[in-house]
């Protein structure tokens, strides 16, 4: 069974590039403080790395 990552948006994507905003949306995050769960895959890890300054992973 793969590990589950809890990703929380802690900083707004306003003022950042369209690419970073798109990554936040692709992770399923829409509003500040929202938490989503994803399987721990290399693709998700890469997305988290690109927006690590906007999210917290637990």
Percent of residues, the chain, with pLDDT higher than 70: 97
pLDDT for the residue 1: 55
CB 8 within 8 A of CB 33: yes
pLDDT for the residue 18: 98
Asked whether the predicted pLDDT for residue 47 surpasses 80, the reply is yes
Q: How confident is the model at residue 44 (pLDDT cuts 50, 70, 90)?
A: very high
Mean pLDDT of the chain: 96
pLDDT for the residue 30: 97
pLDDT for the residue 14: 97
Instruction: Supply the CATH classification number for the domain 4-57.
Output: 3.30.1390.20
Helix, strand or coil for residue 40? coil
Helix, strand or coil for residue 13? coil
């Amino acid at each position: 069974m793969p590990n589950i990552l809890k990703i929380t948006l802690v900083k707004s994507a306003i003022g950042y590039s369209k690419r970073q905003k798109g990554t936040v949306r692709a992770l399923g995050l829409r509003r500040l403080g929202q938490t989503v769960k994803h399987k721990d895959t290399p693709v998700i890890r890469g997305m988290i790395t690109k927006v690590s300054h906007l999210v917290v992973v637990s």
